[in-house]
Amino acid sequence: MAAIIKKAWEGYQILFDDFADPRTKHLPLIAKPFQGILLLGLYLMFVLKWGPNFMKNRPAYNLDKIIIVYNAFQVIACAYLFVNALFLAWLWDYKWICEPVDFTFNEKAIKITRFVYFYFLLKVIDLLDTVFFVLRKKINQVSFLHVYHHTGMVVLIWGAVTYFPGGHGTLVGVINTFVHVVMYSYYLITVWDPSLKGNLWWKKYITQLQILQFLWLVVHMGVIVFKTDCEYPRWTAAIFLPQNLFMLILFIDFYIKTYIRKPKEKKKLENDMARVETVDLPNGKPHQN
């Protein structure tokens, strides 16, 4: 038994110490899987069980002021990361087909690792979205798509920061931060002025933008599958591709149900009600019920 424990500990050290990037493994939550597992375990237990049970016989909390500050922070933080990612690398100094990770300790490489880590912290902060849903008793919004997306992003970006903080995969963060600037701007406006919620025409286009995001990432990560001389680890596509494909399918399904089927069903219901309210009499004149 002692030998098994020793081997397990040695394997743990190899995987999360020897293989981990020395520039990031000392950072909070990074290269320490038990911390991340505990964090996500508490998150899932709260949003799926503890939170709904706690709120069952309580009125919804009014968190508008907190959410306004939260959304404003998200817009500013995402915009900051997006702009810096463009000027630091992706506008002119990164290869779109296959960009290797710079594992050196030069100034630019260190900056990139820091921005990748800050992006990971944003994914952790994103978990508050679901917590707010629960505390506001909007349990219908705690969907499988929502919880899976938030949990999966934390796991994937944790792996990126721990082992490959830079290179080809960072485009995920570049695109995602732009999408989140748009998305949290919408949330900020609608919480600030609830009367605008039904009047903002661009709500469904945010979902279209998210679909485009995952389609782009599928293509981006799919490229390294066919580029045999790529210096970025090709095996990472086996993790990112299924995740992005799955998210693409889920978002397309959500879009179809919300913006295609539901309006058709609503229109059909309105037409049916109109026919019920107006009955044609033998003389050809309608009778209003």
Catalytic residues: 149
Closest CA to 113 of 14, 21, 32: 21
Closest CA to 85 of 177, 208, 147, 198: 177
Are the CB atoms for 222 and 237 separated by under 8 Å? yes
For residues 176 and 70, give the distance between their C-alpha atoms in angstroms, rounded to a whole number: 18
Closest CA to 126 of 189, 62, 65, 187: 187
Residues 85-121 as b or e (16 or more Cβ within 10 Å = b): beebbbeeebeeebbebbeeeeeebbebbebbbebbe
Sign for the CA dihedral angle at 253, 255, 258, 262 comes to negative
Closest CA to 247 of 166, 147, 177, 161: 147
Query: Phi/psi at 154 (nearest 5 deg)?
Result: -60, -45
For residues 121 and 119, give the distance between their C-alpha atoms in angstroms, rounded to a whole number: 5
Query: What is the number of alpha carbons within 13 Å of residue 250 lying toward its C-beta?
Result: 16
Amino acid sitting at position 273: M
Beta bridge partners of 287: 279
